[in-house]
Amino acid sequence: MQTFIARQPIFDLSGECVAYELLYRKNKKAVHANVTDNAEATARVLINFMHNIGFDSFTDNKTGYINIDERILLNDILLSLPKEKFVFEVLETIPITPEVVEKIGYYYHLGYRFSLDDFSCNPQNLEYFKPIFPFMEIVKIDLLLMHEYSIEEMAEHFSPYKLQLLAEKVEDFSVFERCKKSGFKLFQGYFFEKPTIITGKKIELLTASVIDIINTLHINPDINVITDKFSLYPDLTFSLLQYINSAEYSFRSHITSIRQIINLLGPQRLRSWLGLFLYSSNNKRIFGDTIVKSAKFRANMMRELVIALKKNQFADEAFLTGSLSLIDTYLQVSMEEMLGKIILGKSITDALLHREGYLGKLLSLVEKMETNENLEHLLDAIGIKLGLTSEEIYRLFCKANNFKIDS
């Protein structure tokens, strides 16, 4: 399972690459995006950057330009993204309604940057898009479109506005020179460099699980309820952890629990982040239900054990360790590669990679409980090892599995 993204450099007057446009591709040989759903294409690009490929390594720490339509804009998805890393390209097909204008203005005052994509300089278009000009930083003009005006005339049309002009699809040196003399400041096209396609490991998310979390946040945003809900979805847990790392929050201490992340994000930003994944398709994973059930048991059992052992301070770390302990199996990627993408406390890393430390030993015990061979004898032995009675261990085991216990 792989994911593909193309990037095309954007140059300034001196010929220095200052940004990349980020482009959706269905496969490694695709020349064009062939997009049928703009929101889905944008969501896939963002998901792949934030969770799979890595933004900074792909863009060399330069700004990324990415298309957005009205669905991405109006659903508060941008709130989940680090605004200092992007210029959001408003598609030429977007309806300029009062709601759209208000939302663009709202983001603009929050510090988000916008450009107008593939603009055509006819009078009707200028009048139609004029309400959002105050919030635009850049206008991209596709030079291969059929225009009524010359390059020089198009530049003149924008002289009353404080907008940078970006010449898109510059095909030869003479066109580049004309654009420079006319006042264009930024340039993009095959004359400079064709899009480069990057391949990464595809990590899909189950849309149903995203909907479940979003609905739960709306119905009952209690942090305990949300934390428990994440135990159902180990892939979603992993992606949330990775998001916190990639979004470059000021939060820099080791991440040890989902509870920390929810406190950091808050319900609104968490919902907006999750909204990205509603546009992403997914694939049914082989043995997926069994793996998720096992990860849920491990998370619950480890939390119950540390609480029973009067080590409540480790409850959240234990839960997270159990939840992530099968993420490599679920996503069919090595644990080393998974942990290379996220920042976790050393105790969790040692437990997941080597079954070392307090959490590692606890995880090893919980893994043995899943075999169900001579379970009663095993639970007795574990109880003795941990200083708990057989009845206590049995009750914790049933609680972690959501079994009913006869009174």
pLDDT at residue 281, rounded to an integer: 46
**Parallel/antiparallel/unpaired status of strands 186-188 and 196-201:** unpaired
Q: Which two tokens stand for residue 30?
A: 């695709």
What pTM was computed for the model?
0.56
Ramachandran area for residue 156 (φ above 0: left; ψ -120 to 50: alpha; else beta): alpha
Q: How many other CB atoms are there within 10 angstroms of residue 312's CB atom?
A: 12
* pLDDT above 80: residue 107: yes
- Give the helix/strand (H/E) hosting 376: helix 375-386
Q: What percent of the chain has pLDDT over 90?
A: 21
Burial of residue 96 (number of CB atoms within 10 Å: 0-12, 13-18, 19+): middle
Can you give the residue ranges of every domain in the chain? 2-201, 207-400
DSSP state of 62: -
Q: List pLDDT tens digits, range 40-58.
A: 677 767 766 665 566 666 6
Confidence at residue 254, expressed as pLDDT on a 0 to 100 scale: 66
Give the residue from 327, 337, 275, 278 showing the smallest Cα distance to 298.
327
Comparison of pLDDT for 35 and 174, the residue scoring more: 174
| Least confidently predicted of 233-247, 298-312, 387-401 | 233-247
Three-class SS state of 402: coil
Q: Which residues contact 35 (CB under 8 A, 6 or more apart)?
A: 24, 41
pLDDT in tens, 334-364: 888 878 777 678 999 999 999 999 999 999 9
Amino acid residing at 293: K
CATH assignment, 207-400: 1.10.3210.10
Name the strand (E) or helix (H) holding 211. Answer: helix 207-219
Q: Cβ–Cβ contacts within 10 Å for residue 131, how many?
A: 16
Q: What end-to-end distance do the CA atoms of the chain give, in Å?
A: 49
Instruction: Tell me the per-residue pLDDT of 248-304, one tens digit each, with 9 for 90 and over.
Output: 455 556 677 788 888 877 777 777 677 666 555 445 555 566 777 788 889 889 999
Q: Which class is domain 2-201?
A: alpha beta
